[in-house]
Structure 1
Amino acid sequence: MQTNLSEQAKRLPRADEAERILRNCVHCGFCTATCPTYQLLGDELDGPRGRIYLIKLLLEGQPPTASTQTHLDRCLSCRNCETTCPSGVEYHNLLDIGRAVVDAQVPRPLGERLLRHGLRLFAPRPALFKALTRTARAFRPLLPKPMQAKLPRHEAVLKPRPKVQHARRVLMLEGCVQPALSPNTNAAAARVLDRLGISVIAAREAGCCGAVDYHLDAQARGLARARRNIDAWWPAVEAGAEAIVQTASGCGAFVRDYGHLLAADPAYATKAARISELTRDLVQVLREEPLEQLGIQADQRLAFHCPCTLQHAQKLAGAVESVLQRLGFSLASVPDGHLCCGSAGTYSLTQPLLSRQLRDNRLNALESGNPEVIVTANIGCQHHLDSAGRTPVRHWIELVDEALPNLSRATGANDAADAR
């Protein structure tokens, strides 16, 4: 695509990157066919090609409007278009650049500003978010039904984590909302890894990955959180930690981008690149291990929802399904598995109508094979799909953990793993 950036745009920190991405786009429209918002709304400006054109006009000097902001806001950042694109257009990076320019010039209505500020205030702080969730659950019957649906349906029974006892060690990002909404997920991952001879070590100073701030008009704050996490993880990285494991694919996709996002930071560029290299979704770690030694006894029929951040951002489509099948789980067929559920981080709160439409469409596809449970690999998708109150939705590692034999029967697997 021919471009002619304005003098003002040329002074942007990521101007060269924006121009390169724009020039890679051949305007073929293949992306439009797989865009969830275009499928719902049928508006060219609510598809990737239209949004790219809006950003092009913006960077060429056309003033942004509230309409421009609306069309960019409606994007889920699902990156389905990137999987489809024959030219390798890095759409999500261009969208980040365009959104930052628009948000700096177009004031949001008060209600939107308050919502986004509240999300940035509560979501990235695990203790605060957990306290808020507990309070809301105590007053659940008094809350409006839309707010009730945002709360977990069932109280989790917490199980202990194994002690650090193996020579092989990994870090794990605890996440910000997951400890409150699905507190057993990381513990289940730690127990399964322990059976394979891998210990999870804590990095208490690490916090939110930064995605919430970064995608809600506060990119500088999001990058500051990234730097804090790098500092928290670095001692363990230097001590030989094999990986930084993510159980939430949304967090994993953002952490994998640290190297790119901090490439121009002389103090953090090298470390950020190393962190990105070490970042692994949980399935990437498990699929390399002798899973058959776990002795899993699985008899449930599952439907797997593959999060956009797993299949389109991390390019791990089919990975979880393969692991579950190796472990003996029965998987129902799911049509249109490439489509988004509408969670998309905070999208379910900032774009509730579109989000609910996408959720219900996704659930119809997931339930078409009559599964007992729907499983996924991202807390946002899990909570959003489960909020419909239909088939239970859980993280896949919890079902693996529950199917583990008791410890006395698993001793042989631990011994074999330690011997490697």
Structure 2
Amino acid sequence: MQTAIIAPLRDTPVGQEAERILRSCVHCGFCTATCPTYQVTGDELDGPRGRIYLIKALLEGEQVTSETRRHLDRCLGCRACETTCPSGVRYSRLLDIGRSELARRLPRPADERIKRAALRALIPHPRRFNGLLRIGQAMRPLLPRPWARRIPPKTHFHWPKSGWHPRTMLLLESCGQSRGTPRTNTAAARVLDRLGITLTRIERAGCCGALSHHLDAHSEARAMARNNIDAWWPAIEDGAEAILVTASGCGTMLKEYGELLADDPDYRARAHRIAALAKDLGEVVAKEGIEALSSEHKRQRIAFHSPCSLQHGQQLPGVIERLLVAAGYELTPVSEPHLCCGSAGPYSLLEPTIAGTLRQRKLNALSGSDPEIIATANIGCQLHLQSGTETPVCHWIELIDQALT
């Protein structure tokens, strides 16, 4: 793709990076076949190829309007297009650059800014999120069933007691997950304890920054990354061997800390180290003697939804499915496993119509063989799917924990 990026931007590292990405695109269109929003709307500008043309025009100085923003906002950031692309186009990075430049040139209307600021002020902060969650849980019995399903029920839990192990991993306590679905992290701690690993929580660590990054608050996301690096670093120097992530969306973010802080001389080296230590829970469990989980006893029929952040972002397809089979569960067939469920961080709150359509399409694919349980690996997918079905939806580690009990 030939480019003519405007001079003030062309001479910057970001502009040069955008030019390299644009030039790698050969217009083949393979990406449209795996793009969820294109599948819903049928609009070329709601597919990766169309959005690449919009970003190219934006970076070349052409006039931009609210229509440009609408099509870029509709992107879920699922990265299915990157998995499909034969040319290795780094679409997600180009989208970040395009959205940042668009925000500079075309500020959002006040109502959109307020909505996004409210999400950033609540969800990444556990105490604030927990207060709002408690209000919703108290009102849950009074709400219509479809609304009530959107609010996770109140769960009583205690952090499990475990023995001392010489091996230690640090837990990223995902802000929403630690309050909305607390059984995920407690189940992870129990399973790792059985594998001889102590899972340690670091109080000073906070949100991974993914939500702020998705909402174009990149400076805020970088500040959150720096805070986490400072919080984790003493434990890493003391020998912690990994930073374990139980929400695959957060795992994708952590593994890109090196790129996020590449221009920060004070944090660049440590950010790359953190990215290298970040491990999805599935990676860890699969590496730690999965044969010990094998069972001849067939357990429930499970439909597994592989989040986009796991299969496309972290490039870990099939890992969880193998763990569930080894633990004795029967996996039901799932059609269109590559397509997003519509959760995508804050997407389901900002684009509810498309998100709802994708959720129903995903639930149809998951429910075709009548599973007893739907399992997934990301809190956003878990809550989004549960809001549309009576079939229980849980994190896969809860099933592994159950199999070992």
Q: Which bin holds the TM-score, normalised by the shorter protein?
A: over 0.9
Write the distance in 1 (CA, Å) between the matches of 2:271 and 2:306.
Answer: 27
Aligned to 1:411: none
Is the Cα–Cα contact under 8 Å of residues 258 and 272 in structure 2 kept in the other structure? yes
Paired letter, 2:7: E
Whether contact under 8 Å (1:170, 1:242) holds in the other structure is yes
Structure 1 partner of 2:114 = 114
SS across alignment from 1:245: strand
User: Do 2:170 and 2:240's aligned partners in 1 also have CA atoms closer than 8 Å?
Assistant: yes
Match of 1:388 in 2: 388
Query: Which range moved further: 184-193 or 60-69?
Result: 60-69
Aligned to 1:105: 105
1:24 aligns with 24
Pairwise CA distance, 1:127: 1.1
**Structure 1 residue 107: Cα displacement:** 2.5
In the TM superposition, what is the alpha-carbon distance from 1:13 to its structure 2 partner? 4.8
Asked if structure 2 preserves the Cα contact closer than 8 Å seen for 1:162 and 1:194, the reply is: no
For the Cα contact (< 8 Å) 2:146–2:388, is it kept in 1? no
Q: Mapping of 1:231-270 within 5 angstroms?
A: 231-270=230-269
Question: What is the correspondence of 1:13-412 to structure 2 with a 5 Å cutoff?
Answer: 13-142=13-142, 147-152=147-152, 154-163=153-162, 165-294=164-293, 299-405=299-405
Whether the 8 Å CA contact 1:302–1:332 is kept in 2: the answer is yes
Mark the CA change 1:328 to 1:295 in structure 2 (over 3 Å): closer, same or farther.
Answer: closer
User: Which piece of structure 1 moves more, 159-168 or 239-248?
Assistant: 159-168
What CA distance in whole angstroms lies between the structure 1 residues aligned with 2:145 and 2:66? 31
- Does structure 2 conserve the Cα–Cα contact (< 8 Å) formed by 1:9 and 1:61? no
The alpha-carbon deviation at position 145 of structure 1 amounts to 6.5
- Secondary structure of the corresponding residue to residue 164 of structure 2: coil
Amino acid at match of 1:128: R
**Aligned-pair CA distance for 1:155:** 3.0
**Residue aligned with 1:139, SS:** helix
The SS at the match of 1:199 is: strand
Q: Structure 1 pair 12/211, CA: closer, same or farther in 2 (3 Å)? A: farther
Amino acid at match of 2:220: R
TM-score, length basis structure 1: 0.93
Check conservation: 2:307, 2:376, Cα contact below 8 A.
Answer: yes
Cα deviation per residue 1:245-285 (whole Å; 9 max; x = unaligned)? 11100000011000111111101110000111111100100
Cα 1:10/1:205, change in 2 over 3 Å: same
Distance (Å, rounded) in 2 between the aligned partners of 1:162 and 1:102: 50
Taking structure 1 as reference, are residues 148 and 13 closer, same or farther at Cα in structure 2, changes over 3 Å only?
farther
Asked whether the equivalents of residues 171 and 201 of structure 1 are also in contact (C-alpha less than 8 Å), the reply is yes
**Equivalent AA in structure 1 for residue 61 of structure 2:** G
Query: 1: CA distance between counterparts of 2:337 and 2:278?
Result: 25
Whole-angstrom CA distance in 1 between matches of 2:252 and 2:210: 9
Alpha-carbon separation, structure 1, partners of 2:106 and 2:147: 29
Q: Is the 8 A contact 2:147 2:387 kept in 1?
A: no
Structure 1 counterpart of 2:198, one-letter code: S
Q: CA deviation at 1:192?
A: 0.1
**Per-residue displacement from partner, 1:138-187 (whole Å, max 9, x unpaired)?**
123555776534201x3324143233610011011001100221011011
Contact 1:164–1:201, Cα closer than 8 Å, also in 2: no
Q: Given residue 271 of structure 1, which amino acid in structure 2 is its aligned partner?
A: R
1:337-393 per-residue CA deviation (whole Å, 9 max, x = no partner) reads: 111000000000000000000000000000011110000000000000001132111
Q: Conserved in 2, the CA contact under 8 Å of 1:35 and 1:48?
A: yes
Partner Cα separation in structure 1 for residue 55 and residue 250 of structure 2: 26
3-state SS of 1:156 partner: coil
User: Using the alignment, how far apart are the partners of 2:374 and 2:145 within structure 1?
Assistant: 23
> Which residue is 1:414 aligned to?
none
**Amino acid of the structure 2 residue aligned with 1:301:** R
Percent identical across equivalent pairs? Answer: 55
* Amino acid in structure 1 at the alignment position of 2:42: G
Sort the Cα spacing of 1:214 and 1:12 in 2 relative to 1 into closer, same or farther, 3 A: farther
CA distance in structure 2 between the aligned counterparts of 1:128 and 1:12, rounded to whole angstroms: 39
Q: Is the CA contact (8 Å cut-off) linking 1:150 and 1:387 kept in structure 2?
A: yes
Q: Give secondary structure in 2 for the equivalent of 1:52.
A: helix
Q: Does the aligned pair in 2 maintain the 1:123–1:176 contact within 8 Å?
A: yes
Q: Name the aligned partner's letter for residue 386 of structure 2.
A: D
Tell me the distance in 1 between the aligned counterparts of 2:293 and 2:306: 24
Post-superposition offset of 1:63: 2.6
TM-score computed with the length of structure 2 as normaliser: 0.96
Deviation at 1:12, TM superposition (A): 4.7
